[in-house]
Amino acid sequence: MSQIIVAQNANGIVLAGENRAIQLDEKGNEVSLQINRLLPLTSHCALLMAGAAEGRDMGSALKSFLLGEKLNDVQDIYGAALAYLSTEYEQFMRKKCEWLPVDPIHQVSFVLAGRTERDPVMPFRLYFLWTKKKLPRLDGDEISHAFSLPRRMGLEFQLNKMCKENVPLKDILKKMAGGMEQLKSKGEVSGPFSFATITQEGFQSLNP
């Protein structure tokens, strides 16, 4: 599974994703792909996708849906995204299982990140959308400060501490990028990586 890392404090949100993906063709053979796992949904909201490459298509469909609904506050988007992506994921799984057995490579999960106008003390939110109970149903959990998938508990501990201290986002970004490079040096990830922030000014991609 490709690596994703997220963290938030009162200054905003930092997102990181490894853009490698593996897909199965109709014969069950693995095909290596590159996808951008970071997708801006609105001016102040973004989706980070983990797992199967088809998650990107689901995210793009969600973006089009939200455009029609004219939603921008992440608390409104969360409920709509959970329902919409659950339907998309169920359709994806039904289609896949017509010609391939269920495989962990088919699993998809998402992190929804964004800003809310309703809470000036905690204006930023992170939500993890995943198959908590059973396939193909998606459930949602709120992320307090930092989270990674696959889990990197040492890095999460450091990021959680930094977030609680409300350090500048540039320091969190530096720690995340360093963590990704360390994992790459161990051969646990391969890259390339995408990074982005969400602040009061909105979503900003940090890639060239």
Question: pLDDT (tens digit, 0 to 9) for every residue of the chain, 208 residues total?
Answer: 789 999 999 999 999 999 987 766 666 677 778 899 999 999 999 999 998 888 999 999 999 999 999 999 999 999 999 999 999 988 887 776 655 555 555 588 999 999 999 999 999 999 999 987 766 678 999 999 999 999 999 999 999 999 999 999 999 999 999 999 999 999 999 989 999 999 999 999 998 5
For position 105, what pLDDT does the model report? 52
Please say whether the beta carbons of 106 and 52 come within 8 A.
Answer: yes
* Residue-wise burial string across 12-36, b where 16 or more C-beta atoms lie within 10 A, e elsewhere: bbbbbbbbbbeebeeeeeeeeeebe
Q: Tokens standing for 22?
A: 């593996």
DSSP codes of every residue in 54-66: THHHHHHHHHHHH
Written as six digits, the tokens of 91 are: 């359709």
pLDDT at 207: 82
| pLDDT one-digit tens code per residue, 114-125 | 999 999 999 999
Residue type, 22: I
pTM of the model: 0.91
Quote helix, strand, coil % in the chain, to nearest 5: 35, 35, 35
